[in-house]
Amino acid sequence: MNLPFQIDLTNKVCVVTGGTGVLCGKMAESLAACGAKVAILALGQEACEQKAAAIREAGGIAIGIETNVLDKQSLKVAHEKILAELGPCDILINGAGGNHPKGQTTNEYLYPEDLENDEISTFFDLDKDGVQFVFDLNFLGTLLPSQEFARDMINREGATIVNISSMNAYCPLTKIPAYSGAKAAVTNFTQWLAVHMSKVGIRVNAIAPGFFVTAQNEKLLKNEDGTWTARAQKILTSTPMEHFGEADELIGTLLYLVNHEASGFVNGVCIPVDGAFSAYSGV
């Protein structure tokens, strides 16, 4: 595969949660293309196995293990399998994450008449379980795999964790308060963990992707006929580089962060990859 630059990860074991997804699937492929032994941890055994098989067909080393990042036992079982088949974890990518429709509002702003309209989900209709789902998946789904795999990484040369936050951690996006808050927690936790792990040689950083069209957000961004929604057009207007990101555009930042020679003193940062969306005030 085409990499922005080559780094050598031969014999490194990389665990990629959410590794069957659009963004982290590409990350898993890239790490394998650099020689890493990759474990894909995600929901659905078939999806995990398919992604691992595709990496093996391309000449890489990979295994797929169905894992729920919110279930400590499931993580433990995956960990044991990885230890037996690949070895201790060197690099953990916490990519599993996502949103839930019950943690979002229909409209950007609240108007009095919306309160009388059953079709409109306002702030007052946000569902506790929906909000909880989003916080669990993004925040606990980062913390629990870190607890499981960081044990392997203590004082291991080049050990590092990369969390996947979002540009909305800096400034919340309208309609998705749970997802914005949960990703803010991921960025904050990245800083906390970097400090906590600084005496045992584990660097912890994050990437904050901007807008990438993926399965997760496709319905918010594309109409049924494939044209952009009003929200998508607004995003493009607010993105100085005027396009949505492609998964490939995250890879250079990922390889930089996992490469100890390049980023060995970079710790506790969250790097936006968003075409300057988060830097633009709109004026």
Binding site for ligand NAD (CB under 6 A): 17-18, 20-24, 42-43, 67-70, 95-98, 137, 141, 164, 166, 209, 211-212, 214-217
- Residue 99 · residue 216 · CB < 8 Å: yes
Q: Which is nearer to ligand NAD, 69 or 254 (CB)?
A: 69
Q: Do residues 41 and 65 make contact, with C-beta atoms less than 8 angstroms apart?
A: yes
Q: How far apart are CA 257 and CA 97, in angstroms?
A: 20
Q: Give CA separation, 109 vs 101, 175, 176, 228, in Å.
A: 17, 8, 12, 21
219 CB burial (10 A radius; 0-12, 13-18, 19+): exposed
Given the complex with ligand NAD, which of 60 and 141 has the nearer CB atom?
A: 141
Q: How far is the CB of 180 from ligand NAD (least distance, A)?
A: 11
We find the least distance from the C-beta atom of residue 118 to ligand NAD, in angstroms, to be 29
From the CB of 215, what's the least distance to ligand NAD, in Å? 5
Q: Which is nearer to ligand NAD, 31 or 69 (CB)?
A: 69
Shortest separation between residue 229's beta carbon and ligand NAD, angstroms: 14
Task: Select from 233, 237, 242, 247 the least CA-distant residue to 275.
Answer: 242
Positions annotated as catalytic residues are: 179
CB nearer ligand NAD, residue 9 or residue 270: 270
